[in-house]
Structure 1
Amino acid sequence: MNNLTQETKLTLVYILIAFAFSVAMRMIWMYQFDGYEPFMFNGQFMINTNDGYFWAEGARDILSGISQENDRSPIANAGSQLTAFFAYVLPFSFETVILFMPVFLSSLVVVPIVLIARGLDNLEMGLVAALLASIAWSYYNRTLIGYYDTDMLNIVLPMFLLWSIIWAVKTNKDIYLIITALDILVYRWWYPQSYALEFSFFGLILFYTLVWDRKNLYNYKLLAIMMFAMLNIDGFIRFPLVLVAHYLFKQERYQKYIYYILALSVVVFFATGGFEPIWDKLKAYIFKDAVVVGEEGLKLHFYSVMQTVREAGQIPFETFANRISGHRIIFILSVVGYIYLAYRHKIMLLTIPMLGLGFLASVGGLRFTIYAVPVLAFGIAFLITEIARLMPTKKLKVLSTVAFTLMVLYPNYKHIEAYKVPTVFNAEEVKILDKLKTVASREDYVVSWWDYGYPLRYYSDVKTLVDGGKHSGSVNFPVSFILTNPQEISAKMARLDVEYTEKTFKFIEENEERIKNKEVNVFSNIEQMTTDYGFKDTNDFLLSMQSDMKLPNKTRDIYLYLPFRMLEIYPTVTIFSNMNLMNGEMKQAPQFFVSKNFKQNQNIIDLGRGVLFDLQGQSLNIGNKKIPIKRFVKTAYDKDMKLQKDVSVSNFMANISVVYMSNYNTFLVLDEQTYNSLYIQLMVLEEFDKTIFEQVLATPHAKVYKLKI
């Protein structure tokens, strides 16, 4: 009993040490930017992940009890609900709660790591693994202070699930049956995409049972209760099913029915469509195409957003290794250690699903590396403790463990020290959104690119057409079209897209059952516009917008949010509407070049990338080619922060213009199509048609316009 008590005390001490270390490392970002006003709003640091504003919006609406229809506020999502709970019970501001939640919740990952190691009778391995896993590159990057997103529990919960499974298989105690099932229920509540990992764990337990422990009835109980917890039905139904299964498994008289109960759970799992979400996710991240083609109606082609999402792209080996272990040598040793660990403790083969998901990063993108972090942390930790065992004295064992642990922690610490990520928006940008909240109503729409959708909804409390979760090719097309076309055409598309979006909401609500039974289809807004206006070719419909057309009745106001920072992604914005929707062919990309690092030598300005601007000759030299420019424009803000423009036209026949934004120290080289686009005219030049637009807010950081039609 004394040994057990001593082991428990040591377990708690190791957990507290690792937890405190993890929290302290995540506070470094805050220390580095202490007092830096551009990162602060309402007296607190802002968060540094875009998606965080989605959950924050939901939590805000839960606490206020107000959420308008079709506003996409995630009031039913776990992230928002948990945040609202913490904000309600804790004596801190809402901004403080969302800033610090990732610090403390993500650090909980050390608990199951130490507990798993305890089950292997190697607590020192657990401490070393917990220290490394808590701050490894990819895990830190997605859980540092301010990184308020589902990732703060996305590794913690599967690690708790892994712990309960390992202890269930090792101890065969009934308590771990219910703990495992509850782990799955909570994990699914928090992260609905957990299907694939849960199913993989199930498969590994089945494999482990059939190969090494097939006569053990307990393992089949574990498989059955896991399957009931994994059903593709509401959690409020799965929970009582799990309780009933657990009750039956504890009764001696029902032991002979275990195999039948397991078979029933599998049948119900597939009958409820349990495998479909897994397949959908695989298709989305692995089998991604450049275009998405509709299956009904006009069969329009749209550009796939997955091609522009960095986290879904392939990454080089060094980046892959660094993100998992901090250094490629540590990564290689971790793999060796993991293989040795699995050889010595076959139960650790149950970690393969997480390791496999982490290695999926080599084809699926860097976001997956986070799953391999704790598993390979066990690998290097096992090597360190095994080396320590070879030491002749206890003092040398401790010293070697400390020395090697510091060596594997060091490159990860250096990464943390250098990882000075900015907040999503700076304080001046947020002030604009805060003012917009007083101008626009909750039913009004603000048109901007999807990168800014969540912050717009959180700070301005408005509706948006696209955001971080709604940015498929079909919904991106109209917004891209609005931002990259001339003002009159863009204004028409803005009114059309907003009103058709609302019409679609109403249609879906009125035809929910018929849509579910596939009796009717929901088409994209652009396809519905095409057919409603009597066209069979979307290209013809888009051309018709250059002439007079009857627009839908106005039901709400529309605003345009045009930030300066959009210049960086303008070429990406153009891609989504620069496509022939009828056949999927990409049109010639507009010419657009931004230079912020240039050098001037008398009348020649070197803009970089082989582009020279001749001020006196009003021409561009690109390689050996000399290109005349149509106009040179210089913009500057006066002492009253009003934009002033100096326009010099040199060649009416030319197609290229150069714009120098002096206050931003930025040159733009763009063709006539881009020069006349809504974004350039309204944000860069503040040249707007007063019959169509009204300027509402204007600062160097962003411009806001109200649509009059």
Structure 2
Amino acid sequence: MFKKEYFKNPYTILFLMILTAYIFSVVCRFYWIFWASQFNEYFFNDQLMITSNDGYAFAEGARDMIAGFHQPNDLSYYDAPLSTLTYWIYKFSPFSFESVILYMSVFLSSLITIPLVLIANEYKSPLAGFIAALLASIANSYYNRTMAGYYDTDMLVIVLPLFILFFMIRLNLRKDLLSLILLPFFVMVYLWWYPSSYTLNVALIGFFLLYTLVFHKKETIFYIGVILMLITLSNIAWFYQSAIVVLLFCFYVFKNEYFKLKFLIVLGMITLIFLILSGGIDPILYQLKFYIFRTDESSSLTQGFVYFNVNQTIQEVESIDLSVFMKRISSSEIVFFVSIIGFIWLIMKHKSIILTLPMLFLGFLALKGGLRFTIYAVPILALGFGFLIYFLREINLKKYNLKAVNIIVILFVFLSLIPAFFHIYIYRAPTVFSQNEASLLNKLKSIAGREDYVVTWWDYGYPIRYYSDVKTLVDGGKHLGKDNFFPSFVLSKDQRSAANMARLSVEYTEKSFYAPSNSLLRKDILQAMMRDYNESNVDLFLDSLSRSDFKIDTPKTRDIYIYMPARMSFIFSTIASFSLINLDTGKFNQPFVFSAAYPLSNDNGEIILSNGVSLSDDFRSLKFDNDVSADIHTFIELNSIQQDDYKMIPINENGQYYLFYIKNSSIPYIQFILMDKTMFNSAFVQMFFLGNYDKNLFDLVINTQDAKVFKLKI
């Protein structure tokens, strides 16, 4: 048994605080496991599936690493950091692969508790860090992106910069060599783990330099710290970086007398010049263009076509309102305001906490750049919350009984955590795919070859590659406007156009991997097609794909499958947007309608739908939310999508809209779909909903209520 004196040791207390906060974070994340385990549709291979779409990219990479190979140009995340870490954990643990990817985020993301407690300990206030760790570990945005099943790099994307900040603060306060040598290596690990962290690392290093110039301008150890960190940003191999850092560190330790101000300035300038020449500022420019100026790289790559800007369709990069912003960071508005007050007080008390401002500012960028950034502000404001509670506790200890004060503190902290507990309870995220969908794709794996392509929307690219072991045109990492144009065209145009474009886009995509980097084929596949088919007008070229006499001269090298899931009904309007535009202007040629909805109420002979449309109860007319009335052309009653069991009831030949009524739908929250003629004639609607596919162009190889898979015959 432990002796009482052990618990008086500050290191023991520090360890117990870290351990308690860590276990608290892990236990909270197990609630989703408990909840999801009730539903069989969330299981595959006797384990719960993951909840993050992008996670399947790393799962595919880890799977390929275990197999020891992957196909050329299959876009596999082979050797990616998360894939590599997963590979080693799987290799040296007794757990199944599915269990490893399910639980990794639970145990790794909870490591956030360690640097928070350690940072507070540097200020002789470990209790403040303990309170901060409790809040930060389960705050809304951090929990959402690190919960059980959220298999993605986010599990360490906040932990690692917090360790960088810890060693920066420790170096500032102690001026010790241990912090000096570990600081650049944590920057290096962070860059390896999450290459997009380059901008944040530059900001942290720049702020550290600015802080040094203001408060420690005569102390050389801080300048050498900046130089060592800058070396890790250079575009050279990690072992060269490590060697240079270690050699320079040793030189500083044993020959400190050489490190005068002039020498450091020269050394710093040489490092900075090398950094710029190696393309060091390119990642910063890209982040600014995409998230702040909202420009799409595909627009700059092509001189003629204006594609649909993909970042306009991603919720994570949309601006958010203030209330959502505060709740995502601190779980409630009240705790957010308390945290702001505490952080201001913390800066006044310990000026070195200013070094955390780059992370805080990046979190506040969410108000402009999108909700995904709020995660960065979570631990910083949590420190403010923890220190304010600690400060108030210390004040009241002078007036009141220790036990009474501690009880009040515990009660207040618990009440502050209740919004986070409630969020965990209600945030019941589904798995990316259902058991039926995963089984369907696993079946496709036995039909298709590894070199074959599946054409579908980018949302499903990673999971399809993981379960079916095939290639895809687009995925969560490759979906610029110029990429998404092709699957959008295949799904939203007529079947012959879809078939021709599917074959052309796949074959040209494969050829593009071997083309020179500055060739037209690498810059814009559509323009390369037009050049090869002797057509200068894009509209004429695209229209020609619908003709029966269109001849594909490009040799067929592989089979192509088209995946049409029922869930695509939710986003089909967005999907169609990428190809139903004028490529010369970027504007829509004409408005189109595809709107899925469910009934809200039946009032005075009208059925009110969730999309704002009011239907007459005889299904002959409709009224939009702006009171504009319109007639129904045809009413389609679907009894079974899988069995192609439906009735088409003509209503008004002059009507503009087609109304689908889906009985026994496998699609949650969809019972009605309203569309115009353009959408009604699309390949997706005709082939998936109505089973009306051209037997000369396609074979139906998989048919379920959740999805259909067609094999291209040309």
TM-score (norm: length of structure 2): 0.94
Change (3 A) 1:569 1:291: farther
1:542 aligns with 2:542: yes
Amino acid at match of 1:21: F
Contact 1:537 1:582 (C-alpha < 8 Å) held by counterparts: no
Q: Secondary structure at the match of 2:18?
A: helix
2:89 maps to 1:86 = yes
User: What secondary structure is seen at the aligned counterpart in 2 of 1:109?
Assistant: helix
**Counterpart position of 1:554:** 556
1:483: how far off? 0.5
Decide whether the 8 Å contact of 2:594 with 2:676 is kept in 1: yes
Rate the CA distance shift 1:519–1:144 in 2: closer, same or farther, 3 A.
Answer: closer
Matches within 5 A, 1:114-263: 114-252=117-255, 253-256=257-260, 257-263=263-269
Q: Whole-Å Cα distance in 2 between the matches of residues 145 and 89 of structure 1?
A: 21
Superposition pairs for residues 63-462 of structure 1, below 5 Å?
63-252=66-255, 253-256=257-260, 257-289=263-295, 292-294=298-300, 296=302, 298-391=303-396, 392=399, 393-462=401-470
Structure 1 position 23 matched with structure 2 position 26: yes
| TM-score (normalizing by structure 1) | 0.95
Structure 1 runs not aligned, ≥5 long? none
Flag the 1:689–1:417 CA change in 2: closer, same or farther, 3 A. Answer: same
1:71 counterpart SS class: coil
- Quick one: distance in 2 between partners of 1:606 and 1:208? 60
Cα displacement string for residues 145-182 of structure 1 (whole angstroms, at most 9, x for unaligned residues): 00000000000100111111111121111121110011
Shift of 1:565: 0.5
Instruction: For 2:202 and 2:230, locate their aligned partners in 1 and report how far apart those are by CA, in whole Å.
Output: 8
In the TM superposition, residue 535 of structure 1 has moved relative to its aligned partner by 1.8
SS in 1 for 2:672: strand
Cα gap change, 1:661 to 1:109, in 2 (>3 Å): same
Match of 1:648, SS state, is: strand
- After superposition, the C-alpha distances for 1:550-588 in whole angstroms (9 at most, x for unaligned) are 212211111011011000001110111121112222222
Distance 1:280 1:312 in 2: 14
CA shift for structure 1 position 696: 0.6
* Contact 2:632-2:658 at 8 Å conserved across structures: yes
Post-superposition shift, 1:626? 4.9
Q: Distance in 2 between matches of 1:383 and 1:627?
A: 60
Q: Which amino acid aligns with 1:16?
A: L
What CA distance in whole angstroms lies between the structure 2 residues aligned with 1:590 and 1:160? 51
Deviation at 1:653, TM superposition (A): 4.2
Matches of 1:519 and 1:488 in 2, distance apart? Answer: 29
Deviation at 1:649, TM superposition (A): 2.6
> Does the alignment pair 1:50 with 2:58?
no
Q: Which residue of 2 aligns with 1:659?
A: 660
What residue identity is the alignment partner of 1:328? E
Q: 1:619 to 1:209 in 2, by over 3 A?
A: closer
Deviation at 1:633, TM superposition (A): 1.5
Residue 292 of structure 1 contacts residue 303 of structure 1 at CA under 8 Å; is this kept in 2? no
Distance 1:577 1:452, change over 3 A: same
Bigger mean CA offset, 451-460 vs 228-237: 228-237
Cα deviation, 1:380-422, whole Å, max 9, x if unaligned, reads 1111001101123322332232122112211111111111111
Counterpart amino acid of residue 658 in structure 1: L
Partner of 1:570: 572
d(CA) in 2 for partners of 1:663 and 1:617? Answer: 19
CA contact (8 A) 2:698 2:712 kept: yes
Is the CA contact 2:608–2:614 (under 8 Å) kept in the aligned structure 1? Answer: yes
The one-letter amino acid paired with 1:10 is I
Q: CA shift at 1:657, angstroms?
A: 1.6
Q: Which residue of 2 aligns with 1:477?
A: 485
Measure the CA separation in 2 of the matches of 1:666 and 1:590. Answer: 20
Deviation of 1:519 (Å): 8.1
Does structure 2 retain, via aligned residues, the 8 Å contact 1:294–1:300? Answer: no
Aligned length: 697
How many Å separate the matches in 1 of 2:612 and 2:330?
39
Q: Secondary structure at the match of 1:124?
A: helix
User: What's the offset of the Cα at 1:76?
Assistant: 2.1
* Cα deviations by residue, 1:663-687 (Å, 9 ceiling, x for unpaired): 2161222111111100001111111
Residues 306-331 of structure 1: CA deviation (Å, up to 9, x unaligned) = 00000101000000000001111111
Structure 2 contact 364–374 (Cα < 8 Å) conserved: yes
1:450-504 Cα distance to aligned partner (Å, 9 max, x none): 0000000000111000100000000101111110001011110000100000010
Aligned-pair CA distance for 1:66: 2.1
SS in 2 for 1:75: coil
Check the 8 A contact 1:291/1:302 in 2, yes or no: no
* Residue in 1 that maps onto 2:514: 506
Please give the alpha-carbon distance, in whole angstroms, between the structure 2 residues aligned to 1:161 and 1:538.
51
Could you say which residue in structure 1 is the equivalent of 2:644?
643
Give CA-to-partner distance per residue, 1:12-39, whole Å, 9 cap, x none.
1000000000000000111122231011
Contact 1:388–1:396 (Cα < 8 Å) also in 2: no
**Larger CA deviation: 544-553 vs 55-64:** 544-553
1:249 positional shift: 1.2
The answer to whether the 8 Å contact 1:249/1:258 transfers is no
Decide whether the 8 Å contact of 2:301 with 2:523 is kept in 1.
no
Q: What SS does the aligned partner of 1:647 have? A: strand
- Give the gaps of 5 or more residues in structure 2: none
Letter in 1 for 2:159: V
Distance in 2, matches of 1:59 and 1:286, equals 33
